[in-house]
Structure formats: C-alpha cells, structure tokens
Structure 1
Amino acid sequence: MDVILQILFLLISAKLFGELVERAGYPALIGEIAAGILLGPSLLGLVTPNETLEVFADIGIIALLFVSGAEMNLKSFLERRNVAVTTAVAGVLVPFGGGILLGHLLNLTQTETLFLAIALSITSIGVSVRILVDYKQLNTVLGTAIVSAAVLDDIIGIFLLGILSAVAMQGTTLAVDFLPAGLLVAIIFLVLFVIFAPRLLRWLFDLARKTETHEMVYSVAIILAIGSAWLSHAAGLHYSIGAFIAGLILGDQIRSDRLLFDSLMDFGFGFFVTLFFASVGLLFSFTRETFLSPYIIPIIVVAIAGKIIGGYIGSFHFLPRAEAFLVGLGMTPRGEIALVVAKVALVGGIIGSALFSAVTVMVIVTIIVTPLLMKHGFVWAGIREKE
C-alpha cells in the first residue's frame, strides 16, 4: 500500500480510537497505540513499519519533548534537581539489579543478563511526558520530579547502550577504550549546550520576532527544536534530550505568546505525536513464539515493580509518600530507547528472537498499563486535574 495512504489510515484510526478512549476517561495515547496494533502486521496488516513513518515518529518525539519543555518553568526545574538526581539513580539501579537477578534465575548468559538489566533500567521520557500532559500534571512538583528524573534516566541509558554496543562489537570482552570516548562526547555536548545554548537560542528567537514575516517565529521555534534534537543525536544522545532542553530554555518566551504556544501544541499533538504513539503499536507481535515465551511474565513483573520501587526510594525523602509512589509509576513505561537497545542486541547476536520479542512485549505493556495505573493512582492520592 502507498505510504501516504498508510499514514492517512493510521492517523484517522489513531485519532478516532484516541477520542473514544479519552471519552472513557483514559489518556488518548492508549487508543493511538491500539490503532497501530489493529492496523499493523499483527492483525490487519494494512500498515507496516517503514522509513517514512520512522521519520514522522522521530519528529513526533521531538515535538512532544520541545513543547513539554516549553510548558515547564526552568527555575522550578532547576530547584528540584536534588529529587531528580536521587530518583533517576534509584530508578536505574533498582530495575538494573532486578534484571541481573532475573537473568540468573532464567539461566540467561552473562551478556543476555546484561542486556536485560539495561533494557529494564530505561524510562521512556516521551510516554511519561504525554501521560502528565493528558492529566495536566506536567508543571506540578510531581510532574517535574518524573520528567527531570526521566531525562537523567535517558542520559544514563545512553551510557548503558554504549556498554552494550561495545559488547556487541567486541564479543564478551568490554572495549574499555571505546566506552569513555562515547561518554565523553555526550558529556562535552551537554556541558557546552547548557553553557552556550541559552544565550544563542534566545537571541535567535528574539531576532525572529523582529522579522516582517508573521509566521517566522513559529518556523524558527520548530527549526531550533529540530536543530537542537539533531545536535543531541549527533553527540550520541537521543533526539528527545536536545529538544527538551531547547524547549526548557525558550519556555518563558514561548509561553508569553499564547497563540504561538497553542500553534506548537497543535503542530505536535495534531499529527506527529499521534503518529509516534501509533507507530509503537505497529511493533507489537502476536506470534505463537512470543506468547509461549517463559520470559514474558517475569520480565513484565520486574519491569513494573523495579521502576515503582526505585522511583519511590529516590523521591520519598522529598515528596509525600503517595506522590513518591506516583513518581515510581510515572517512570514505569519503557519506549524508544529500550527498543533501540533490543535492536542493537539482536543485530549484534547478543540475544535471540525469543528474548527480543519478550522485551518488545514488555515495552508495549508498560506503555499501555502505566496510564491506567496512574489514573487510579491520582484518584487514590487525592490529586485532581489542574485546570
């Protein structure tokens, strides 16, 4: 089927399912993922993953994180750095340890166990942010704790991915001289970006306001988001890191222009973000091997429990216990980076198709289950939607 027609079918179905799910009181992303599962290779086979959809999905995650960063208050974000650091560290160490233990219990090889521990350690910042946006909790103390910890989790995840890549290239022997180089580039990029990007991005944005073309500010905002995301990716980090930091830097200027902010929201959520979550559903597999795998249930249990416990341990010193529990829930979904880790391991011969399929199912399940758990968690904690 023509790729344009595939995108059309996917967008219509995702928006329709998202609306139905939202009317039932749950986040639209569940319906969008369900549309991908229905139209994807597992069921109807009308839409298949392809390079064009991957590009749109990447732009979707860039738009989501840029707008989310712009919606947050930079000062508040920096003030809550302590809870972010402790939550991120605990949110990685606990599921990483759980993955090591589970690997031994399942009699996996040493490299398979390392892969599993890494895959279980990474939070999907895109999914976490979308849930908080849907529940209007992004700019709260709870939301800031989840997002900032998820950002740091992604950075830690890139370092762990470097370790896995070294294992894939060198066999079971870690390439010690390879690891610091990739990590050093990422650290240098982050330091330079944080030092120089604020002044440069704000200057370019102010320059755009002085132009005669009325849509120039809108175009420049998108250019800066995509450009920052590309620089982040070129440095070995995920697109989302650069996009989020750029949005955070430009937040005050973007929020002061309500028309611009609303236009960017429509740009992202009206098309690209929807396709990103629908494309997640395309990855789901209903093969006999997948559902008969003895790995699936233990991996899902450890994935959910590890993040909840880690997030709670990292944040309960700073937040009420009910909110600390919700932080753990908010860090539960895995996403694009976990899938990248799985793909690297499969291509590198570190894991087989059974473990790859089990981790893919875990990613899908955590993405779908987390919004449901958080909805009831907000009710349990007595947290209402912010108007």
Structure 2
Amino acid sequence: MDVILQIILLLICAKLFGELVERMGYPALIGEIAAGILLGPSLLGWVTTNETIEVFADIGIIALLFVSGAEMNLKSFLERRNVAVTTAVAGVIVPFAGGILLGYLLNFSQAETLFLAIALSITSIGVSVRILVDYKQLNTVLGTAIVSAAVLDDIIGIFLLGILSAVAMQGTTLAGGSLSAGILIGIAFLVVFVLIAPRVLRWLFDLARKTETHEMVYSVAIILALASAWLSHTAGLHYSIGAFVAGLILGDQIRRDRPLFDSLMDFGFGFFVTLFFASVGLLFSFTWETFLSPYIIPIIVVAIGGKIIGGYIGSFHFLTKAEALLVGLGMTPRGEIALVVAKVALVGGVIGSALFSAVTVMVIATIIFTPLLMKHGFAWAKIAEKESP
C-alpha cells in the first residue's frame, strides 16, 4: 500500500480511537496506540513500519518534548532538582536490581540479565509527558517532579545503553575506552548546551521577531527544536533531551505569544505526536504463541512494580504519600529508548528473539497500563487529600 495512504489511514483511525477513549475518561494516547495495533501486522496488516513513518514519529517525539518544555516554568523546574535527582536515581536502581534478580531466577546468562536490568530501568519521558498533558497536570508540583526525574532517567538510560553496546561489541568484556568516551561526550554536550544555548536560542528567537515575514517566529521555533534535538542525538543522547531543554529555555517567550504557542501545539498534537503513538502500536507484531512465553508476566510485574517503588522511595521525602505514589506511576512507562536497547541487544547477539519479544510486549503493556493506573491514582489522591486532617 502507498505510504501516503498508510499515513492517512493511521491518522484517521488514531484520531477516531483517541476521541472515543477520551470520551470514556482516559488519555487519547491509548486509542492512538490501539489504532496502530489494529492497522498493523498483528491484525489487519494494512500499515507497516517504514522509514517515512519512523521519521514522522521522531519528529513527533521532538515536537511533544519541545512543546512540553515550553509549557513548563523553568524556575519551577530548577526548584525541583532535589526531588528530580533522588527520584531518578531510585527509579533506576530499584528496577535495575529487580531485573538482576529476575534474570537470576529465570536462569538467564550474565549478558541477558544485564540487558533485562537496563531495559527495566529506563522511563519513557515522551509517554510520561503526554499522560500529564492529557490530564492537565504538566505544570503542577507533581508534573514537574515526574518530568524532571524522567529527563534525568533518560540520560542515565543513555549511559546504560552505552554499557550494553560495549557488551554487544566485546562479548562480556566492557570496552572501557569507547564507553568512557561516549559518557564524557554526553556529559560535555549537556554542560555546553546548558551554558551556551540559553543566550544563543533566545537571541535567534528575538531576531526572528524583528523580521517582516509573519510566520518567521513559528518557523524559527520549529527549526530550533529540530536543531537542538539533532545536536543532542549527535552527542549520543536521545532527540528528546535536546528538544525538551530548548523548549524549557524558550518557554517564557513562547508562552507570552499565545497564538504561537497554540500553533506549536497544533503542529505537534494534530499530526506528528499522534503518528508517534500510533507507530508504537505498529510494533505489536506478534502471534498468540508469543504470549505463552513464561517471561512476559514476570517481566511486566517487575517493570511496573520496580518503577512504582523506586519513584515512591525517591520522592516521598519531598511530597505527600499520594503524590509520591503518583510519581512512581508516572515513571512506569517504557518507550523508544527501551526498544532501542532491545534492538541493540538482539542485533549484537546478547539476547534471543524470545526475550526480545517479551521485552517489547512489556514496553507496550506499560504504555497502555500507566494512564489507566494514573487515572485511578489521581482519583485516590483527591480522596486522600479530602480525608486528611
């Protein structure tokens, strides 16, 4: 089928399913993922992942994180740095330890156990942000804590991916030089970007406002988002990191221009972000035999439980118990980076197809379960708040 027609079908189905799910009181992303599952290789087989859809999906995650960064208050974000650090660290250590224990119990090899621990440790910032946007919680204390922790979690995940890549290339012996170089490059990029980017990005943005072309500011905002994402990716980090930081830096200027902010929201959520979540559903390409794997249920349980416990432990000193639980729930979804980790491990011969399939099912399951759990978590938190003295 022609790729344009595939995109049309995917977009129509994703928007319709998203609307139906929202009317039921749940985030639209569940319906968008369901559209991908329906049209993808698992069921109808009308749409398959291809290079064009993957590029649009990448732009979707860039747009989502850039707009989300612009929507947040930089001062509030920085004020939450303590809870962000402790939550990110605990949110990695607990599921990592759970993965090590589970790998031992399932008699995995050392390399397979390391892979599982890494895959369980990584939060999807894109999914977490979309859930908070849908529930209108992005700018709350809770939302800021989740997003700031998820950003650090993503960075830690990239470094863990570097470890796994070294294992894939060198067997069970870590390639210390290449791994250290990758980590140093990533850290150097973040330091330089945070020091230089605010002045440069704001100068370019102000320059765009002085032009005669009325849509120039809109174009420059998109260009800066894409350029920051590309620089981040070039430095070995995920696209989302650069896009989010750029949005955070330009947030004050963008929020003051409401038509611009609304246009960027439409640019992202009207097309690209929808395709990103629909493309997640396209990955669900398994037979019923896949679900007979003895690995799937234990991996999903440890994936969800590890993040909830880690997020709670990391944040309960700074927030209420109800908020700390919601932070743990918000850290639960895995996404694009976990899938990259799985692909690296599979191609490098670290894992087999059975474990790869089980982890991919886990990723999709956590993306679907998290908004459902958070819906009930928000309801419980409101009840707990009313009952508190």
Q: TM-score, normalised by structure 2?
A: 0.98
Determine if the alignment matches structure 1 residue 274 to structure 2 residue 301: no
Structure 2: segments with no counterpart, 5+ residues: 385-389
Considering only aligned residues, what root-mean-square deviation do their CA atoms show, in Å?
A: 0.9
Q: Distance in 1 between matches of 2:287 and 2:354?
A: 10
Deviation per residue, 1:90-123 (Å, 9 max, x gap): 0000000000000000000000000000000000
In the alignment, which residue of structure 2 is the partner of 1:348? Answer: 348
- Tell me, yes or no, if the aligned pair for 1:285 and 1:357 is still in contact at 8 Å: no
Question: What residue identity is the alignment partner of 1:291?
Answer: F
Q: Distance in 2 between matches of 1:240 and 1:329?
A: 21
Question: What residue identity is the alignment partner of 1:376?
Answer: H
**How many residues matched?**
384
Question: What residue identity is the alignment partner of 1:109?
Answer: S
Deviation per residue, 1:197-222 (Å, 9 max, x gap): 00000000000000000000000000
Determine if the alignment matches structure 1 residue 101 to structure 2 residue 101: yes
- Tell me, yes or no, if the aligned pair for 1:57 and 1:275 is still in contact at 8 Å: yes
Question: What residue identity is the alignment partner of 2:141?
Answer: V
Determine if the alignment matches structure 1 residue 214 to structure 2 residue 193: no
SS of residue paired to 2:317: coil
Q: Displacement, 1:176?
A: 1.2
Structure 2 vs 1, CA of residues 383 and 63 (structure 1 numbering), >3 Å: closer, same or farther?
farther
Determine if the alignment matches structure 1 residue 312 to structure 2 residue 312: yes
Q: Distance in 2 between matches of 1:382 and 1:104?
A: 40
SS of residue paired to 1:52: helix
SS of residue paired to 1:334: coil
In the alignment, which residue of structure 1 is the partner of 2:223? Answer: 223
Q: Displacement, 1:383?
A: 7.9
Determine if the alignment matches structure 1 residue 117 to structure 2 residue 108: no
Q: Distance in 2 between matches of 1:316 and 1:363?
A: 26
Deviation per residue, 1:45-96 (Å, 9 max, x gap): 0000000000000000000000000000000000110000000000000000
- Tell me, yes or no, if the aligned pair for 1:124 and 1:333 is still in contact at 8 Å: yes
Aligned positions of 1:58-207 closer than 5 A:
58-207=58-207
Q: Distance in 2 between matches of 1:27 and 1:221?
A: 27
Q: Distance in 2 between matches of 1:287 and 1:14?
A: 23
Question: What residue identity is the alignment partner of 2:65?
Answer: L
Q: Displacement, 1:288?
A: 3.5
- Tell me, yes or no, if the aligned pair for 2:40 and 2:285 is still in contact at 8 Å: no
Question: What residue identity is the alignment partner of 1:373?
Answer: L
Deviation per residue, 1:191-244 (Å, 9 max, x gap): 000000000000000000000000000000000000000000000000000000
In the alignment, which residue of structure 1 is the partner of 2:322? Answer: 322
Q: Distance in 2 between matches of 1:63 and 1:291?
A: 34
Q: Distance in 1 between matches of 2:340 and 2:132?
A: 24
Deviation per residue, 1:5-30 (Å, 9 max, x gap): 00000000000000000000000000
Q: Distance in 2 between matches of 1:259 and 1:167?
A: 49
Deviation per residue, 1:268-307 (Å, 9 max, x gap): 0000000000000000133134111110000000000000
Question: What residue identity is the alignment partner of 1:268?
Answer: G
In the alignment, which residue of structure 1 is the partner of 2:299? Answer: 299
- Tell me, yes or no, if the aligned pair for 2:224 and 2:246 is still in contact at 8 Å: yes
SS of residue paired to 2:176: coil
In the alignment, which residue of structure 2 is the partner of 1:249? Answer: 249
Runs of 4+ with >3 A deviation = none
Question: What residue identity is the alignment partner of 2:341?
Answer: V
Deviation per residue, 1:308-359 (Å, 9 max, x gap): 0000000000000000000000000000000000000000000000000000
SS of residue paired to 2:86: helix
Q: Distance in 1 between matches of 2:62 and 2:332?
A: 21
Question: What residue identity is the alignment partner of 1:136?
Answer: K
Determine if the alignment matches structure 1 residue 13 to structure 2 residue 5: no
SS of residue paired to 1:191: helix
Q: Distance in 2 between matches of 1:300 and 1:70?
A: 33
Structure 1: segments with no counterpart, 5+ residues: none
SS of residue paired to 1:224: helix
Q: TM-score, normalised by structure 1?
A: 0.99
- Tell me, yes or no, if the aligned pair for 1:296 and 1:359 is still in contact at 8 Å: yes
In the alignment, which residue of structure 1 is the partner of 2:381? Answer: 381
